[in-house]
């Protein structure tokens, strides 16, 4: 699912910063904290932040996109210049 979100953002010309938690020594700890922040029991990746705010995972990002709310969020954060 990380690839789907990364591809979506890339197709929108958003230069997303991607952090590979499986390559970070503290990755498991970060996954647990993200799951706690999102109220999940399972690892919460991808965890998408826009403008420093935690938006959610794949389902939330796709729902925002389909509802036409993702582009305004990205514009507001300065991540998209359309």
Q: Is the pTM of this model over 0.75?
A: yes
2-77 folds as Glutaredoxin (3.40.30)
Strand partners, 48: 56
Percentages helix, strand, coil for the chain, rounded to the nearest 5?
50, 10, 40
pLDDT tens for each residue of the chain, 82 residues long = 789 999 999 999 999 999 999 899 999 999 999 989 988 887 778 899 999 999 998 999 999 999 999 999 999 999 998 6
- Domain coordinates in residue numbering, the chain: 2-77
Contacts of 8 (CB under 8 A, 6+ apart): 61, 62, 65
Let me know: does 80 contact 71? Beta carbons within 8 Å.
Answer: yes
């Amino acid at each position: 699912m990380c690839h789907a979100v990364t591809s979506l953002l890339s197709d929108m010309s958003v230069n997303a910063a991607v952090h590979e938690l499986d390559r970070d020594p503290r990755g498991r700890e970060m996954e647990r904290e993200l799951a706690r922040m999102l109220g999940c029991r399972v690892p919460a990746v991808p965890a998408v932040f826009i403008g420093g705010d935690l938006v959610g995972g794949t389902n939330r990002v796709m729902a925002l996109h389909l509802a036409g709310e993702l582009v305004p969020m990205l514009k507001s954060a300065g991540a998209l210049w359309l």
